[in-house]
């Protein structure tokens, strides 16, 4: 492990806005803030919005600056990435930001029913071979709705045609309420100014995909509490740039 990473891990232990509960910890160290994030950490009654797979936490930090009356929590398993967002939030004195380092598979252990208002999925790995790791699969949507308010909004921003198309099928087959969708965000007209400001926030991965000339896709849909969710039974073309260049890394350095 690089020295930089070790230093970041050590510093993260001292950050008041970071909670570290990977699989290896959660069974030995009970998490006591489930249902109590607002009382015990944020000290307000404002809504909570999560960024899942937040990486360096660009959406978490930038949304927190735009919306001081909403609480934002970035979730990821990779501590060295999260360090950047957590450090920035501390430096800027953002009291409405927290980071949770854990596996999203067990996300419902950290939030009580109705505790969360909405979710952002930013450039999630499309997981083309493994539906159970795909963050918009019904496996994950079932977990999200255990703590999301009824009809809480799920935002998906992605370069991946595979993940975008798959999620469109999930929405269609389950008759979820699709609130907005574009497969070419930066060439779509008629987006209101507030939404355009939010969608202009760029993550680390997004900037690399844009540099490679890829379209950015965005959709948002409402996730209701009721109804059985079913997986779509469809064949979706794979993203060739991922399948063919996985071992070459090209200009995308996923190690950072």
Ligand X SMILES: C[S@@+](CC[C@H](N)C(=O)[O-])C[C@H]1O[C@@H](n2cnc3c(N)ncnc32)[C@H](O)[C@@H]1O
Identity of the residue, 223 or 252, whose beta carbon is nearer to ligand X in the bound complex: 252
Sign of CA dihedral 40, 89, 197, 51: negative
**40 assigned to active site:** no
Identity of the residue, 190 or 213, whose beta carbon is nearer to ligand X in the bound complex: 213
Minimum CB distance to ligand X, residue 209 (Å) = 9
Q: Which of 45, 125, 239, 253 is catalytic?
A: 125
d(CA 16, CA 170): 38
- CA-to-CA dists, residue 157 to 45, 83, 112, 179, angstroms: 28, 22, 26, 14
CB 159 within 8 A of CB 206: yes
Question: For residues 127-154, b (16+ Cβ closer than 10 Å) or e, as one string?
Answer: bbeeeebbbbbbebbebbbbbbbeebbb
Minimum CB distance to ligand X, residue 175 (Å) = 27
Identity of the residue, 38 or 241, whose beta carbon is nearer to ligand X in the bound complex: 241
Q: Is 159 labeled as ligand-binding?
A: yes
Q: Is 91 labeled as ligand-binding?
A: no
- Which residue from 19, 37, 81, 145 is in contact with ligand X, where contact means CB under 6 A? 81
Stretch that binds ligand X, among 111-119, 198-206, 214-222, 236-244 (CB under 6 A): 198-206
Question: Is residue 55 a contact residue for ligand X (CB under 6 A)?
Answer: yes
Minimum CB distance to ligand X, residue 204 (Å) = 4
Identity of the residue, 122 or 174, whose beta carbon is nearer to ligand X in the bound complex: 122
In 10 A of CB 239, how many CB atoms?
19
Question: Is residue 108 a contact residue for ligand X (CB under 6 A)?
Answer: no
Stretch that binds ligand X, among 42-50, 72-80, 83-91, 226-234 (CB under 6 A): 72-80
Question: Is residue 159 a contact residue for ligand X (CB under 6 A)?
Answer: no
Please report where in the chains the tokens 């067990």 appear, as a residue.
106
CB 107 within 8 A of CB 32: no
Identity of the residue, 39 or 250, whose beta carbon is nearer to ligand X in the bound complex: 250
d(CA 254, CA 235): 27
Which helix or strand (DSSP H or E) is residue 119 part of?
strand 116-122
Question: Is residue 161 a contact residue for ligand X (CB under 6 A)?
Answer: no
Residues recognised as catalytic: 125
Interface contacts to ligand X, rule CB under 6 A = 53-55, 76-78, 81, 103-105, 122-125, 203-206
């Amino acid at each position: 492990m690089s020295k930089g990473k070790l230093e970041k891990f050590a510093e993260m232990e001292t950050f008041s806005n970071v909670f570290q509960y990977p699989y290896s910890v959660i069974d030995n160290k009970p998490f006591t803030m489930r249902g109590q994030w607002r009382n015990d950490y944020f000290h307000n009654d404002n809504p909570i919005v999560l960024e899942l797979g937040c990486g360096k936490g660009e959406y978490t930090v930038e949304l927190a600056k735009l919306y001081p009356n909403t609480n934002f929590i970035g979730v990821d398993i990779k501590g060295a990435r999260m360090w950047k967002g957590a450090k920035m939030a501390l430096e800027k004195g953002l009291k409405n930001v927290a980071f949770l380092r854990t596996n999203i598979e067990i996300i419902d252990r950290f939030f009580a029913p109705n505790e969360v208002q909405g979710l952002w999925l930013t450039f999630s790995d499309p997981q083309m071979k493994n539906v159970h790791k795909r963050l918009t699969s019904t496996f994950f949507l079932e977990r999200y709705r255990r703590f999301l308010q009824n009809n809480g909004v799920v935002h998906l921003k992605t370069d991946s045609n595979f993940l975008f198309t798959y999620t469109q099928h999930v929405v269609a087959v389950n008759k979820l309420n699709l609130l907005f969708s574009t497969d070419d965000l930066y060439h779509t007209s008629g987006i209101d100014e507030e939404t355009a400001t939010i969608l202009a926030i760029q993550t680390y991965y997004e900037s690399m995909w844009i540099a490679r000339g890829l379209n950015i896709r965005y959709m948002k849909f409402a996730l209701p509490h009721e109804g059985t969710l079913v997986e779509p039974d469809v064949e979706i073309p794979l993203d060739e740039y991922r399948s063919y260049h996985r071992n070459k890394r090209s200009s995308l350095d996923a190690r950072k």
